[in-house]
Structure 1
Amino acid sequence: MKIVQLEYFCAVARLHSITQAAAELYVTQPAVSSAIKELEKEFNVSLFNRSKNHLTLTKEGELFYQKAQKLLAEYKQTLNQLHDIGRTISAVKIGIPPLLSTIFFPEMINDFHREYPDIPFELFEYGSIRAANLVHEGILDAALVNMHFYEIDKLNSIQIMQDKIVFCVSKNHPFAKKKEVTFDMIKDMPLIMYNTDSVQNETLDAIFKNSAIKPNVILHASQLYTIKSFICEECAGAFLYSSLLKKLPGVVGIPITPTIHQSIGLVWKKGSYTTDSTDKFISFVKKHTIL
């Protein structure tokens, strides 16, 4: 058994797909398939129930997954401790949703680099839910996330800022001069929603469901440039953080009634060793909160 085999197995178990796991790990699908087959052969166990496009863990696979996660977490902690003992400066791996990166970066990283010029970092764009899961699994050191998801208590967290969601349209749109909008007013409008692993989406989907409204979603997007283009061409409206408006000339943000408040924060794993580099980043963020 090799550590890399366990990493491949855990990725497939989490994503239920060899294709998606290979894409996330930047390896080939045959490499992932081979790693799983080797584990099954070595331990004489069937790890997955295989259907056409979906993989689910067998009963034995579930137990194997739990053990593999613990082993990988211990391996990473030990590796980080050895790096610190040898005074190797490890990179901080940070997850961040694309829209939040527009609010916080590159300013935050530039400020961090001025204070700690020798500490490298790696940024990974994921929605808040997926980024938080990767932190919990020890793949990422920390993540900037929308904190309104039900498993937030599984992680250490600090709140960085408060924001609210506004409904965005072109400055030439008939709604542009309205003082507020309700969900009933926009129920038939073409809409842009964020990607599916977004906390913002979960919040909005719950409101639509409670209001018995089926939204007319024409696009799921994660890049601000794409969203802005659709808005300015009056193809659709979108729900965005109010903090983004200063970066969107030609776009009007209309307050939503009732107001949808959002908390943005940093999360990192509970009960786990953190490298000196990660500790410094967490301390830096704590000192630079903008509440």
Structure 2
Amino acid sequence: MNIQDFKYYHELVNLKSYTKTAEKFGVSQPTITAAVKRLEKKFGGKFLIRDQSHKNIIITKLGMQFDEHVQSILNEVNVAEQEIKQEATANIPFGLPPIIGRNFFPTLVPKLLEKRILNRLSVIESGSYDLHQLLVEGNINFSLLGLTQPNVASGIKLKIIKRYPICIIVNKDHPFAKKKTIHFKDIADEDFIGLNSDYIHTRALDRMIKKNKISLNTIYRSPDVTVVKSLVAQGIGISYLTTLAINQNDDVVALPLLDKEKPEFILGAATRENHIMTTKEEELWQILTKDIKKED
């Protein structure tokens, strides 16, 4: 039994064709057949039935269950291969969402410089959902993430660093600016400027819209938080943003929501539970999670 047999088997289940599977791997059909027989003999089950009259392949229930395990095995092998490659380069693949990169990460830089870790980081900037998937697949080893709920995939270790409210932001001359707080439903008739789908704000916003049974007049969506704040400051519309992304130089007013159930922007540090850290990676993890309350 070898890993290649698992690869043959999984592709055969997907393609349901010995011919196409053999062509994909550049081998003969008997090679694929032999691999399946070895797996069935090793595990003592019947995974496939070959209908010679119709030249079809029927995947048994046991065969489908076995393929679920095969996929897990192949994913673990891929993760191991990625980790070995990363260790050889001595870099630390590190995920950084845009908002966190601009507003939180700079506070860590002095310590990262002191420990000589900053120049070892191979930073990948993307949305938290994409970075979470890259962690699962082993393409990065560590990431800061923005979440609305402290839920991550099985096998991912999460340490919550801090929670920030998500507020309605308006121009200083907007009628809402005189309020101290606001209900989400109050923004139903306002021109709204949103972020694109890469941001967790968008999904959090969708949940609030459904919960309050309202619709928003979204006039523009931007991939850039700075653009959103600038448009709001000009009075073009209002928006929905975490306080982490708002600073004293922004010419906007942030209004906390009065709703009982309202999403938060949860800032967390994540790695894989089965990842064996190098010395530098252990130092990085300590810097990311130092002095935080245990909320995970």
What's the TM-score once normalised by structure 2's chain length? Answer: 0.69
Distance between the aligned counterparts of 2:107 and 2:248, measured in 1?
14
Amino acid at match of 2:26: E
**Contact 1:168/1:240 (8 A) holds in 2:** yes
Q: Does 1:273 align with 2:257?
A: no
Residue matched to 1:40: 24
From the superposition, tell whether residues 193 and 278 of structure 1 become closer, same or farther in structure 2 (CA, over 3 Å): farther
- What is the RMSD computed on CA atoms of the aligned residues? 3.1
Percent of pairs with identical residues: 19
- Higher gyration radius (CA): 2
Residue matched to 2:124: 124
From the superposition, tell whether residues 104 and 191 of structure 1 become closer, same or farther in structure 2 (CA, over 3 Å): same
SS of 2:207 mapped into structure 1: helix
Distance between the aligned counterparts of 2:175 and 2:245, measured in 1?
21
Deviation at 1:275, TM superposition (A): 3.2
SS of 1:139 mapped into structure 2: coil
Amino acid at match of 1:72: N
Amino acid at match of 1:274: M
Distance between the aligned counterparts of 1:239 and 1:192, measured in 2?
8
Deviation at 1:117, TM superposition (A): 5.3
Using the TM superposition, name which of 147-156 and 244-253 deviates more: 147-156
Residue matched to 1:208: 209
Amino acid at match of 2:148: H
From the superposition, tell whether residues 38 and 130 of structure 1 become closer, same or farther in structure 2 (CA, over 3 Å): farther
**Contact 1:161/1:264 (8 A) holds in 2:** yes
SS of 1:246 mapped into structure 2: coil
From the superposition, tell whether residues 215 and 119 of structure 1 become closer, same or farther in structure 2 (CA, over 3 Å): same
Deviation at 1:253, TM superposition (A): 0.4
Gaps of 5+ in 1: 1-5, 7-36, 46-58
Map residues 203-282 of structure 1 onto 2, 5 A cutoff: 203-258=204-259, 259-282=262-285
Residue matched to 2:77: 71
Map residues 1-291 of structure 1 onto 2, 5 A cutoff: 40-42=24-26, 68-80=74-86, 83=88, 90-116=90-116, 119-149=119-149, 151-154=151-154, 155-258=156-259, 259-287=262-290, 289=292
SS of 1:152 mapped into structure 2: coil
Gaps of 5+ in 2: 1-6, 8-20, 33-58
What's the TM-score once normalised by structure 1's chain length? Answer: 0.70
Amino acid at match of 1:110: P
